[in-house]
Each structure stands twice: as C-alpha cells, then as structure tokens.
A = this chain, B = another copy of it.
Amino acid sequence: MENRSDHKLNYSLRELAQLAGVSKSTASRVISGSGYASADVRERVLKAAEELRYKPSAVARAMVAKRTHNIGVIVFRDRLPIVSHTLYGKIVDEILMAAESLGYSIFLKTDREMSLRSTDYMLEQRVDGLILVSRFRKNVIDYVKNFNIPYVMVNGSTEDPEVVHLVSDDERGGERAAEHLYSLGHRRFFIVAGPGEHRSHSLRLSGFCKKLTELGIPCGSREAANGLTADTPQAGYVYIAESPDSSFDSGLQLMRAHEEIFRSGGYTAVFGTNDMLALGAMKVLLERGVRVPQDAAVMGYDNTELGGMYHPSLTTVSVDAEGLGRDAVATLHKMIGGEAGVPRLIEYDSQVIIRQSTKGE
C-alpha cells in the first residue's frame, strides 16, 4: 500500500490498555464511561486513546450486547430506482434524521416486491428492527413474522391486523380533494387513478367518489363507474381512467389516450391519485392549449416538491412524510425496548394545499 500514514487501521482495547498501563477491564470502564476509575487512570487512558485514535468496535460491542443499534430500512419497488422517488426520498430523509436522534444507524436496501434477499440480509446483520417502506407482497410479511424481530410498515398495504403500520389517511384525503373541487363549482370530473392494488391509490379514489356521491354526484365503485363510462362516456359525471402504474409517464399516456373523451365529455376538473399522474395529465392539457385552471382545474396528491414548482403550481393533498418517517422510527424504538401497547395503526391526517392549478393566482 502506498499509504503515507503508518497508523494502524484499528487498535483494540487490549492495545489501548497496554499503552495506558492498565488492564483491559479498566480501559473498558473508562471508554464506555461506566464503573469506577480514578481520575489519574481515566486521564492516562483517555490520553492513550487520543494517541492511538482509538475507536471502539461497534461490531464487538454488538456481539456481546446482542444489540446493534442499527435499523434496517427496505424500500420496495417494482422496477425503478426508488430513493429518488420524491415521496419515498422524503420519507427516507426523515427516517435518517429521526434515527440519528435516537442513536440508531440505518442500513438501507431497495428490493423487488417479492424478494426475501434484503430481508435475509438485514436479519443476518442482526438489525434491531426493520422498517418496510412502500407496498410489498404478503409473503415478505409472513417471512418476517417468523423471526421475532420488531418491524413496522410505512405507507404499505395490508389487511393483517397484527402488523404495525403507518399510513396517511388516504380516504379522508380523497374526500377533501372532492370537497375542494366541488366547492369551486366543478361538477364533471375526470379521474386519473393509479393501480387499484395499491392501498393508497385505491383509498384516495374511493374517498373521492364517496364524497362526490354524498354531494349528489353519481360515482359509485370504480367498477361500476368504469362500466358506465366505457360504454357511454358522455353519460357520467365522473370518468375514471385507470393507470397500470403511478408514474408521470403513465399520467401523460393516459391523458393522451383519452384526449377525445376528455374534450367531448365537458370535464372541468382532473383529479390524479398522486402528483405524478396529475402532472403527466396536466402537461398534456397544457400542450393542447387548455388553460389551467380557467378551462380545467387539476389536482394531485402527495404534495411532492415538484408540484409546488410547476407552472401552474399544482393543488394537492399533503402526505405527512415527516410524521411518517419520524414516527416509524419512534414506534420501532418502543417495540425494540419491549414496550407494550404500541398502536397497530397510525394514521396521518391529510391537508389540501391549494395552488394555482385549481384556483389561479
């Protein structure tokens, strides 16, 4: 090696003790700050530690403590890179900061939905707990359950009442979105809906429809609505276009494919079950010269930064990513500490963020 420094990479407690002229046990007491040590000895050990740039091995500590103070975070994805996803990126950011303040470090992995690889890896790493982000298949949960390791699920979907999960109140958010658009006078709605298997998308849609129905606008279940509109697009007040995934591109494609229906249907409001879908749809409208919000209002969901930057800026429903990330760590921390009575479900209220795309300036 061409290293100019002749410093060893890592010194052990034994070497440190030797230099300070004390026993291993004594050195340990000083370094860990627990137990008796005279001022004289303490000083000698600290000086030696300074000199050797001693760093206690977390590995050895974990070995004896049977505790790593590490948390494994697995973000599941279908195909695409996921950390750069604005919402998940935010959640990861919040997890990182919350973990820091509680003394945990984060092992981060992304993995495909059905894979157990990452989970296995985390288990072998002996993480104290697991945070599973985004949706993932049931087999993953069932697998994790086999090992008595604390875990929480963030923004996923499960009917399993045993699983501790944190989600935003998507149904209520959907209702709020409907209220907002209705209150602006809109009566004919075009919905760009994300994949129905995904809890968030499905609940946002059903909340939206539920509220519309309450307000006297027929919408009903997705199936019914789609049946209606597919056959007689002009007949419904609400048109639901379903997208196979939840990307910007899908929103774009979907709107392009439905351009004729949109124009002839007299729809004045577009609701996307997330910001990306909404923005994709909005871009198509803007390119066709539709003025937003004068000719058509557009609304999304997630409150991603992107939406606020757009022109026109996008009205949306905010998801409390900060709360989600923070509480995921806090909850897991309690579970790791063996605390009983951790709530199985934590829901975050959502809030409409009104911007240019529905209200102009």
Contacts and interface: CB of A to CB of B under 8 A. Distances in A.
Nearest to A248: B309
A198 interface: no
A3 to B, nearest CB: 5
A108 B97 CA distance: 11
Nearest to A103: B121
B148 A5 contact: yes
22 contacts: A1-B148, A5-B146, A7-B148, A53-B146, A56-B124, A59-B63, A81-B97, A83-B90, A83-B92, A83-B96, A84-B89, A84-B90, A93-B110, A96-B109, A105-B109, A105-B121, A108-B108, A248-B309, A280-B309, A282-B311, A283-B311, A311-B311
Given A57-B126, A283-B311, A86 B84 contact: yes
Contact of A146 (B7, B59, B63, B279): B7
A57 B64 CA distance: 12
Of the candidates A60, A68, A70, A125, the one having the most CB atoms from chain B within 10 angstroms of its own CB is: A125
A297 B225 CA distance: 44
A105 to B, nearest CB: 6
Instruction: Give the oligomeric copy count.
Output: 2
Q: Which 8 A-B pairs have the closest CB atoms?
A: A84-B89, A81-B93, A58-B124, A286-B311, A108-B108, A84-B90, A83-B93, A89-B89
A309 B279 contact: yes
A223 to B, nearest CB: 31
A59 B107 CA distance: 14
Interface string A210-227: 000000000000000000
A3 B162 CA distance: 10
B120 A96 contact: no
B107 A105 contact: yes
A181 to B, nearest CB: 21
A82 interface: yes
B1 A58 contact: no
B311 A126 contact: no
Of the candidates A3, A68, A107, A338, the one having the most CB atoms from chain B within 10 angstroms of its own CB is: A107
Given A58-B125, A59-B125, A279-B309, 14 more contacts: A1-B148, A7-B146, A8-B148, A58-B124, A59-B59, A59-B62, A81-B93, A81-B97, A86-B86, A96-B108, A107-B107, A248-B305, A283-B310, A286-B311
A114 interface: no
A58 B126 CA distance: 7
A29 interface: no
A155 to B, nearest CB: 15
Interface string A98-137: 0010000111111000000000110111100000000000
Given A10-B126, A106-B109, A340-B2, A90 B81 contact: yes
